[in-house]
Amino acid sequence: MKDLEERIKNLAAIYGDGSDGACPTRAQWQALINDTPDGGVTLINFFKMRAHAQYPPGADAPAEPGTGDEAFQRYAAVSGGVLEKVGGHFTLVAPFKGSLIGDKEDWDLVAIGAYPAVENVLALFEDADYRGVYVHRTAACARQKVFFC
């Protein structure tokens, strides 16, 4: 368990505390680990893109940041391969169409990724290539939600 605590601490140092909604909070990392100790994990991602990508000052951003969709494509060009490298796979990547039951939602994209274990999810976020492109995800997304099952 100590190893996992150290990994959470390192991930928070890399990605931030999650207060901006762009990455998990420490409590969310902890919940992922505590609530999925043995067995597979599925992450259900909902993304709403910005009209114009917004990179933070000092970020390794392209000269022309473009749209949120373009920034997200820069992220996806690398992240999908890393997801597979760490043992995960996508079960769905599709445009969001609407709500059938419940409140109306407004999203642009849904991506569902499956992993053999929580270890694989942590390995994704720890991967150097993934860390390098995550800035494009945050520049692309006006908001996002990620649920785990």
pLDDT tens-digit profile of 8-55? Answer: 888 988 888 887 888 898 899 989 988 877 789 999 999 999 999 999
Give the H/E segment covering residue 89: strand 89-95
Which whole number is the average pLDDT over 113-121?
95
Q: Which residues contact 54 (CB under 8 A, 6 or more apart)?
A: 65, 139
SS (H, E, C) 96-134: CCCCCCCCCCCCCEEEEEEECCHHHHHHHHHCHHHHHHH
pTM metric for this prediction: 0.91
Give me the CATH topology for the region 38-148: Alpha-Beta Plaits (3.30.70)
Give 61's pLDDT tier (boundaries 50, 70, 90). Answer: confident
